[in-house]
Amino acid sequence: MKRAISWFTGIVAMIAPAVAAAQGQSAAEGGDSFMLKGALALGAGLAIGIAAGGGGIGQGKAAAGALEGIARNPEAASKVMTPMIIALALIESLVIYALVIAFLLQGKI
């Protein structure tokens, strides 16, 4: 997993300056370009995709931790469930914020 993340980071680090240089002049002139719209579409898709994946992983780990705690001490179930529900709601709110950002980026296309 670490290798995949480092490969992805390296590819983005190589491509991002080229995209920024290619669209720098047209963005400064105020004109819309195909590259800018493509970057906005890519950003919107990546925003919601990464947020949903990260939120799912976070919610899974939170639920697993809570269930493991309840399995070790069943009497603490009432004390564990409320903070877990609050944590799940906060995680889901971050995914909803990413959805809103994706919609805002899509509105600029």
Domain boundaries defined on the chain: 1-30, 32-107
Cβ pair 85, 66 in contact under 8 A: no
Q: Is the pLDDT assigned to residue 33 strictly greater than 70?
A: yes
At the second CATH level, the architecture of 32-107 is: Up-down Bundle (1.20)
Query: Quick check: 74 and 45 in contact, CB under 8 A?
Result: no
pLDDT value, residue 85 = 92
pTM higher than 0.85 for the full model?
no
- The Cα–Cα gap between 107 and 95 comes to 18
- List, for residues 86-106, the tens digit of each pLDDT value: 999 999 998 898 888 888 877
Phi, psi dihedral angles at 86 (to 5 degrees): -65, -45
Phi, psi of 38 (to 5 degrees): -65, -40
